Amino acid sequence: MANRRTITGFSNPTVKFLRSLREKKFRKQSGKFLAEGLRLLTDARAAGRLPEVLVMATARDSHPLLDALEADVLAAGGEVLEMGPDLLAKITGKDNPQAVAGVFAEFDTSLAALDRSAARIWLVAQALRDPGNLGTMLRTGDAVGAGGLILIDDCADPFSVEAVRASMGAVFTQGIALARWDEFLPWLRGGPGQLVAASLRDAVDYRTAPYAAPCFLMVGNESRGLPAEYELACDLRVTMPMKGRADSLNAAVAAAVLAYEALARLDG
Amino acid sequence: MANRRTITGFSNPTVKFLRSLREKKFRKQSGKFLAEGLRLLTDARAAGRLPEVLVMATARDSHPLLDALEADVLAAGGEVLEMGPDLLAKITGKDNPQAVAGVFAEFDTSLAALDRSAARIWLVAQALRDPGNLGTMLRTGDAVGAGGLILIDDCADPFSVEAVRASMGAVFTQGIALARWDEFLPWLRGGPGQLVAASLRDAVDYRTAPYAAPCFLMVGNESRGLPAEYELACDLRVTMPMKGRADSLNAAVAAAVLAYEALARLDG
């Protein structure tokens, strides 16, 4: 059966291709990304996203979720690749013979693909560099019922293995858009939307701020925060108490505290 | 001057020792840990913590904060080590000739060293495995004015380079205690203190829960959450809305959302 292959040999071009997806350059060239682990792949399937290629070990324990995934991938015209544990470890970077991985097509990441009326909360990150923070923001977005995450300027790649893993599956359920600031702002102003910055500048207490849906909550780069110009373009600048020595929170933490406050207030 | 030395040669025992501090085993053997970067060292100094050994490049740009740090370290009887950029890169793992690092003595991490009356909020983590999450919890603790972080069972090492970095200096200002559950619970019950679990089990909404100081906010392991037995021993189990597909938040995010809610309510 053409859709089911056993791969042998480290120099096999398929193995090389799968390994290359750990690097952003090759993800962008191919428009594909890698997600690892049965839980993540099952979350993707539940969200209606199937891998184009499913990768697993020739000798493995049977698992009903994996069997279901395999059947769905084959039924959808996808490919199932089996290989020995050594090759699999080369691709997943993990010495786990139960490991599975899937190759997915990257999604449409244009602003035009977002339907702002679909959710009351949206997360926005500017120049976010840490893929773990990015994935955590996607995960938080899922939890608060956000529509998605808009990545402004040069952010970490949401399709990196680290970001996908930290998202705990939310990469498959949250909308994701990549845009420059001077694309994002006109898009935002082209419809309803309140832009809120986590800020220290001329800011109001985040507990009493007048949130309004659809509410776009924006956090800045891990080291530099948001550029002053971006903050000033916001409808609202909110601040969280800082009782200690530090003057900022982790970016993903700031987004989450703000998102849960907005959720409670918009729901209330 | 004995307190000031120039180090040459990769096989120098001091270089070997400094490199070894990236591994937990050698940190525990020596009771020392490494903090990197001028900002972190300046935060430590502001918190009254000086490194026993300050490490920097022989050829470097002058910086008033670094000069002040150097003077303080020497005045306190500490040691200043200078070395070429290659050696420095070996120790810091960074190709940055401006890099500085400090060797600190680990602090007292016994429960007995904590003064529970010193703060209204305390964070507690059980079997937390990710050093980034751990450092982020310390950073959040600083921000909400918590007294410190209590690490239950087998957690990541708070003195690892990654945790120290993620704490953004809070490792020097927050109390840190390591304890087994069966040490922690009797200690907690030996004085005032409300133990609150982030939980899905028989839990009340975190926005309406009756927080009381001193309030100990506990989150569990990244994959498994808290053991049922631990949750049941809590005075309060609180839950946050989960509007999406996932059933949990990142552990550091859950702790922060909870801590900011408790802060607002205990302050209010």
Chain A contact for B42 (CB, 8 A cutoff): no
CA–CA distance, B108 with B175 (Å, rounded to integer): 9
pLDDT at B10 exceeding the cut of 80? no
pLDDT band at residue B247 under the 50/70/90 scheme: confident
Asked if the C-beta of A252 comes within 8 angstroms of chain B's C-beta atoms, the answer is yes
Q: Is A143 in contact with B246 (Cβ distance < 8 A)?
A: yes
Is the confidence at residue B179, as pLDDT, over 80?
yes
pLDDT, tens only, B221-243? 999 999 999 999 999 999 999 99
Q: Alpha-carbon distance A159 to A139, whole Å?
A: 14
Query: In chain B, what are the domains?
Result: 4-105 (3.30.1330.30), 111-267 (3.40.1280.10)
pLDDT at residue B58, as a whole number: 86
Helix (H, G, I), strand (E, B) or coil at A109: coil
Pairing state between β B100-105 and B32-36: antiparallel
Is any Cβ of chain A less than 8 angstroms from the Cβ of B249? yes
Chain B residue closest in CA terms to A121: B243
Structure confidence at residue B236 (pLDDT): 97
- Residues B116-137: pLDDT tens digits? 999 999 999 999 999 999 999 9
CA angle A35, A38, A39 (to 5 degrees): 90
C-alpha to C-alpha distances, B155 to A180, B28, B145, B199, nearest whole angstrom: 40, 14, 22, 19
Parallel/antiparallel/unpaired status of strands A53-57 and A100-105? antiparallel
Percent of chain B exceeding pLDDT 70 equals 99
Beta bridge pairs of residue A104: A33
Residues B174/B143, Cβ–Cβ less than 8 Å: no
pTM of the model: 0.94
Which DSSP symbol is given to A94? S
Q: Do the Cβ atoms of B139 and A249 come within 8 Å?
A: yes
Range in B94-108, B168-182, B218-232 the model is least confident about: B94-108
Write the DSSP assignment of A165-220 as a string of letters: HHTTTGGGTSEEEEE-HHHHHHHHHTSS-EEEEE-SSS-EETTT----SSEEEEE-
Residues from chain B that touch A166, judged by Cβ atoms under 8 A, are 250
Please tell me if residue B242 touches chain A, with a CB cutoff of 8 Å.
yes
CA A34 to chain centre: 12
Binary contact (B169, A245; C-beta < 8 A)? yes
Contact B253/A at CB under 8 A: yes
Burial A203-224 (b: 16+ CB within 10 A, else e): beebbebebbbbbbbbbbbbee
pLDDT of residue A202: 79
Closest alpha carbon to A253 in A121, A122, A139: A139
Across the interface, whether the CB atoms of A244 and B140 are under 8 A apart is answered no
Sequence-distant (≥ 6) Cβ neighbours of residue B80 within 8 angstroms: B3, B4, B5, B53, B54, B56, B70, B73, B74
Determine contact: A145 vs chain B, CB below 8 A. yes
Query: Mutate which of B120, B138, B200, B245 to disrupt the A interface (most A C-beta within 10 Å)?
Result: B245
Find the mean pLDDT for residues A196-205.
89
pLDDT at residue A246, rounded to an integer: 85
Q: Which two tokens stand for residue B184?
A: 């922690």
- Rounded mean pLDDT, B89-111: 87
> By CA distance, what is A245's nearest residue in B?
B142
Structure tokens at A114: 């977002």
Phi, psi of A57 (to 5 degrees): -80, 150
Q: CA-CA distance, B125 to B123, in Å (whole number)?
A: 7
The per-residue pLDDT for B115 is 97
Residue A21, pLDDT score: 94
pLDDT tens-digit series, residues A170-182? 999 999 999 999 9
CB contact B48 to A (< 8 Å): no
**Over residues A38-59, mean pLDDT:** 92
pLDDT surpassing 90 at residue B167: yes
User: In chain A, which residues have their Cβ closer than 8 Å to the Cβ of B249?
Assistant: 139-140, 143, 256
* Cα–Cα distance measured from residue B253 to residue A135, given in angstroms and rounded to the nearest whole number: 12
- Considering only CB atoms, which chain A residues are within 8 Å of B140? 249-250, 253
Checking if the pLDDT of A262 tops 80, the result is yes
pLDDT at B143 exceeding the cut of 80: yes
Alpha-carbon gap, residue A151 to A125, rounded angstroms: 5
Set of chain B residues whose Cβ sits within 8 Å of the Cβ of A169: 245-246
Residue A146 has pLDDT above 90, yes or no: yes
Whether A266 contacts chain B with CB within 8 A: no
pLDDT band at A254 (very low <50, low <70, confident <90, very high): very high
Q: How would residue B268 be classed by pLDDT, with cut points 50, 70 and 90?
A: low
Any chain B CB within 8 A of the CB of A144? yes
From the list A265, A203, A192, A191, the residue with the least C-alpha distance to A232 is A203
Check: CB of residue A91 under 8 Å from CB of residue A105: no
Beta strand pairing status for A204-205 and A236-239? parallel
What value does the mean pLDDT take over residues A19-47?
A: 94
Distances (CA, A) of B8 to B14, B33, B80, B88: 10, 22, 14, 10
Q: What is the pLDDT of residue A129?
A: 96
Q: Closest residue of A to B263, CA-based?
A: A241
Considering only residues 192 to 221 of chain B, which have any Cβ-Cβ distance to chain A shorter than 8 Å?
A: 207
Å between B162 CA and nearest CA of chain A:
13
Q: Does B263 touch chain A (CB under 8 A)?
A: yes
For chain B, give the DSSP string: -TTEEEE--TT-HHHHHHHHTTSHHHHHHHTEEEEESHHHHHHHHHTT---SEEEEESS----HHHHHHHHHHHHTT-EEEEE-HHHHHHHHSS--TT-EEEEEEPPP--GGG--GGG-SEEEEEES---HHHHHHHHHHHHHTT--EEEEESS---TTSHHHHHHTTTGGGTSEEEEE-HHHHHHHHHTSS-EEEEE-SSS-EETTT----SSEEEEE-BTTTBS-HHHHHTSSEEEE----SS-S---HHHHHHHHHHHHHHHHH-
Across chain B, mean pLDDT equals: 93
Longest pairwise C-alpha distance within chain B = 65
Hey, are the CB atoms on A166 and B249 less than 8 Å from each other? no
